Each structure stands twice: as structure tokens, then as C-alpha cells.
Amino acid sequence: MILIVDSGSTKTDWIALSDDGNELFQTQTLGLNPQVLSQEILRERIINNFELYKHRQEVKKLYFYGAGCGVEKPRKLIKEVFDDFFSLADEIVVKEDTYAAIYAVAQNDTPSIVCILGTGSNCSYYDGKEIDQRVISLGYILMDDASGNYFGRQLIRDYHFNKFPKALAEKFGKAYDLSSETVKNHLYKNPNPNTYLATFARFLIENKDEEYCQGLIKRGLSLFIENQVLQFDDAREVPVHFVGSIAFYLKKELKAVLEDYELKIGKVLKRPIDGLVAHHKGYILQK
């Protein structure tokens, strides 16, 4: 059995394939970001999934692409969890989620820029063979422009600084518990503060036609383009692909901002798992 896994900070998609490439099952767990979660929490999230626990000794190969796996220490941490849980696997590969996005949207050897806009955000250049990621993420507090957690942070700040339009503020206040105690508990005491912040992005998407929301969306997307996409000299000559729920649900706004910067939008996918599976099936069929 082969497991193909795409993990963000919020959720993780798992697809199991037989040795000849046929799909056996799909399942989902909570996000498995080793930069913000302990080994104990990572292990618990996997063990609590019935399908994974049931088939754990049948897994021979595991290909994991995840948020927070861009540096060695977190990769090692989560691989130790996999080595223990899938103890009979003879190959376990852990890569950052950028690779999943590229495998899902990049066509053959065509150069392109590939971006992730989900709970977090990042951007890479793919020349058809190699990945060039010039900005190393410093995490959700300092970076992640235009991500779910970025928009959530801005919404909470604007609400408490009384920068919301009155009617929209009332709507926002009824939708969430925004007391200082609750917010600070989630940010400083509970796990996954980045995921908590990203939950507020749903409000932005549901109310995106409001003038205030349009302004916030445009500012966030413009920051991402200026700080990430335009770092590459030929950004205006290649397609710019996007993967992630924020990009997917704000596709119209994203396209408009890209046009303002004379950039060409490419594919926009909510999640990369289907393209990722197709990529691995191609290797299976070549054997």
C-alpha cells in the first residue's frame, strides 16, 4: 500500500493506493504541522483515525507533503512519528507542501510561479526541474501575507480598534467569541494559534462584497504579490499558479489584483491532493 499525504496546518488529506495505482481509500485528519505541534499531538491525530490505524501495517511507502516541513528539525520530528506508526514501511519521504503544490499545478517542464494561499502562504519559482524559494518563512507572526491567519489577525485587530463599519462589526461580534480572554487563550495557551486565526477568514469570504472586506482583501493580496511574487525577475512572463482555500474562494479578487500588477493567473486549486496523486500514479505506471 502507498499513502499520498497533503497536509496543511488545518487539515490533512490522505489517499491510499495499491501497488498498481488503484485507489483503496481516502481519509482526512486534522493538520499535522510539526513546527507548531508536539510529537504527542501529531501521533494522537494519526492514531485517532480509524482507516489509518486499521491499515498501518499494510503501508509500504509513504509520501508526505506538509506545511512546516521546510527545515530539517520539523521534518525529522514528524518522520519519527511515521517511522513508529507505520513500522513496516520501507520508504517514508517527508517534503514541504511547496512540492505538493508544484506537482499539482506545474505542467511538464514549463516554468511558472507556484503559490500557496491557505492557512499560511508561500511562493516558489519552478523552472521546470528545480524549485527556487528565495524567501524563507519566519512563520505566521511575521509573514504569511494574504493567508487565512493573516486575514484573521487583521479582522480581530480592526474589530478591537473599532475600524469595522458598525453593521459589519455587529455581525462579526455575533459570529464569534471575541472577548480578550478567549482570543488570548487561543493565541498564547492553546495549540495551533495560526489555525485559530485562519478560522476568521470564513467571515471575510462570506462578506467579501462589503467595501471594508474588499479593501482588506486587496491590501493582503497586494502585500503577497509585492513581497513574494515580484521577487522573481520574470514574474510577468510566466503563469502564476495558486493552491489553497483562500486563493480558491477569492479567485475573482485574486485575478483582479494580479491584473493590476500585469501578472498572468494560472491554475487555482482548492487542494493539491488530486494532482499529487496523479503525479505519483505516473511514476507507478512507468515501472
pLDDT tens-place string over residues 15-73: 999 988 899 999 999 999 998 899 999 999 999 999 999 999 999 999 999 988 888 99
Confidence of residue 110 (pLDDT cuts 50, 70, 90): confident
**Which residue matches cell numbers 485559530?**
196
Q: Note the pLDDT of residue 50.
A: 96
Q: Note the pLDDT of residue 24.
A: 94
Q: Note the pLDDT of residue 108.
A: 66
Mean pLDDT, rounded, for 245-259 = 97
Mean pLDDT, rounded, for 265-271 = 91
Distance (Å, whole) CA 110 – CA 163: 44
Q: Note the pLDDT of residue 239.
A: 94
Distance (Å, whole) CA 209 – CA 165: 13
Domain extent listing, the chain? 2-101+272-286, 109-269
Mean pLDDT, rounded, for 138-145 = 88
Q: Note the pLDDT of residue 103.
A: 86
Distance (Å, whole) CA 105 – CA 119: 19
pLDDT for 284 beyond 80: no
> Strand runs (DSSP E) across 141-275, as ranges?
239-243, 264-269
Q: Note the pLDDT of residue 286.
A: 53
Q: Which residue has the higher pLDDT, 128 or 146?
A: 146
pLDDT for 287 beyond 70: no
Angle between helix axes 148-160 and 211-227 (nearest 10 degrees) is: 130
Was domain 109-269 assigned CATH 1.10.240.10? no
- Cβ atoms of residues 5 and 64 within 8 Å: yes
Distance (Å, whole) CA 167 – CA 155: 14
Distance (Å, whole) CA 228 – CA 93: 27
Report the mean per-residue pLDDT for the chain: 92
Domain 2-101+272-286 in CATH: superfamily? ATPase, nucleotide binding domain (3.30.420.40)
pLDDT for 151 beyond 90: yes
The predicted-structure confidence for 209-227, as pLDDT tens digits, reads as follows: 999 999 999 999 999 999 9
Q: Note the pLDDT of residue 129.
A: 83
Same fold, 2-101+272-286 and 109-269: yes
